[in-house]
Structure 1
Amino acid sequence: MVRIPLGPEELSRGLRLGELLRSTRGHRTMSDVATEAGISVETLRKIESGRIPTPAFFTVAALCRTLDLSLDDVAEATARKPDRADAS
């Protein structure tokens, strides 16, 4: 199976997801959050850095549960931000 490369929008959305998770994690260590979510620290590190811009739904759901985020919060934070040209 050949995977189609992600476009700029998907990559940008992955960066926004990583920023949200990092800021929500706050003072908690990556290790604590990853363990509680049932994922590896390396997976969390890659998601937070945008190196995994499209993590599996169940991974996102587990992180949301661990960080007390709703999926609606994630959807809103990762939605496409209108460009200034779009807003006029």
Structure 2
Amino acid sequence: MVRNPLTPEERERGRRLGLLLREARGGRSMTEVAMAAGVSPETLRKIESGRAPTPAFFTVAALAEVLDVPLDQLTRRCTPDETAAVA
């Protein structure tokens, strides 16, 4: 299966997601959060660094739960501001 290249918007959304998760993690170790969410530390590292800009929904949901961040908040904060795109 050939995967289509990501759009700049998808890459930006992934960058924002990584930043938000890294901020929410705070002083907790990457390994601690990853293990609590049932993902590998390498997966979390890739998401936080933006190298995995389109992680699986259930991965994001598990991380959000462990970090106590509502999914709707992640969605809002990861979506580019449409008013900025129009300006």
TM-score range normalised by the length of the shorter chain: over 0.9
Residue number in structure 1 paired with 2:80 = 80
Aligned-residue offset at 1:82: 3.8
Residue number in structure 2 paired with 1:61 = 61
Residue number in structure 2 paired with 1:36 = 36
Amino-acid identity (%) = 60
Q: Which runs of 4+ in 1 moved over 3 A?
A: 82-85
Q: CA separation of 1:85/1:2 partners in 2, compared to 1, >3 Å: closer, same or farther?
A: closer
Question: Aligned pairs, how many?
Answer: 87
Q: Which moved more, 1:76-85 or 1:47-56?
A: 76-85
Unaligned runs of 5+ in 2: none
TM-score by length of 1: 0.93
Letter in structure 2 aligned against 1:12: E
Unaligned runs of 5+ in 1: none
**Cα separation, 2, equivalents of 1:85 and 1:56:** 26
Letter in structure 1 aligned against 2:32: D
Aligned-residue offset at 1:86: 1.9
